[in-house]
Amino acid sequence: MKLYDYFRSSAAYRVRIALNLKGVVPERAFVHLRRNAQRSEDYLALNPQGLVPMLVADDGAVLTQSLAIIEYLDEAYPAPPLLPAAPTERARVRGIALEIACDIHPLNNLRVLQYLKNTLGVSEEQKDAWYKYWIDVGLEALETRLARDPATGRFCHGDAPTLADICLVPQLANARRMNIDVAPYPTLTRIEAAAIALPAFVDAAPAKQPDAE
Ligand SMILES: N[C@@H](CCC(=O)N[C@@H](CS)C(=O)NCC(=O)O)C(=O)O
């Protein structure tokens, strides 16, 4: 199994956490996003979307999209489970994960920011304001939802880490990297503190990766 990774990618960070929780150690390849390696001919031949992460499974299957990769890992390596057993609980966890992965993260992706700046000509300040705005809109809704829902426990769902926490931790790291104040999100930061006490989360952090700069 080979993971195409980049230390600062929050989508790849999700997959690294899942691999660590499962105790699976893949071969690694590093795709330097700042140098546009994701748009090289070789990489696009494997993944026409030009995004990381990508996982090439042992049978040669090329898997893309962090959530699909994580669900593959959960099915191939069932322990510990990353989704609860009951259908409504699974849907809740997926809903939280998708809130982050579909409604926050894509708005702040490198190619979107590059388009804003290089094609639409927005200033650095306007680009940063866009970044902060969409993170705050997303985190505010997630904070409200998790704070009032009794299904929230030590983690986003109950007392064990799930797909939801796997998405939350990289998104908060991303917000912090952009100097966004996370103090208005006490439930999210409480859950983050519980998660980053676990070696699987610690070892997946951007600064700990071999390609970290
Ligand atoms: N929905 C995708 C998002 C993947 C994604 O946006 N990856 C970013 C890094 S976090 C990327 O490769 N960006 C390269 C670019 O924008 O050119 C997933 O969950 O895997």
Tell me the pLDDT tens digit for each residue of 113-158: 999 999 999 999 999 999 999 999 999 999 999 999 999 999 999 9
Looking at residue 6, its amino acid is Y
Instruction: Tell me the three state secondary structure of residue 54.
Output: strand
Sheet of strand 62-64, all strands in order from the earlier edge strand to the far edge: 27-30, 2-5, 54-56, 62-64
Q: Residue 133 Cα, ligand 1 centroid: separation in angstroms? A: 19
Q: Residue 35 Cα, ligand 1 centroid: separation in angstroms? A: 14
Looking at residue 178, its amino acid is M
Any bridge partners for residue 158, and if so which? 152
Mean pLDDT for the chain overall: 97
- Confidence at 4, pLDDT banded by 50, 70, 90: very high
Residue with tokens 């939801």: 164
- Residue 33 in contact with ligand 1 by CB distance below 6 A: yes
Q: Tell me which residue has its CA closest to atom 1 in ligand 1.
A: 65
Percent of the chain, pLDDT > 70? Answer: 100
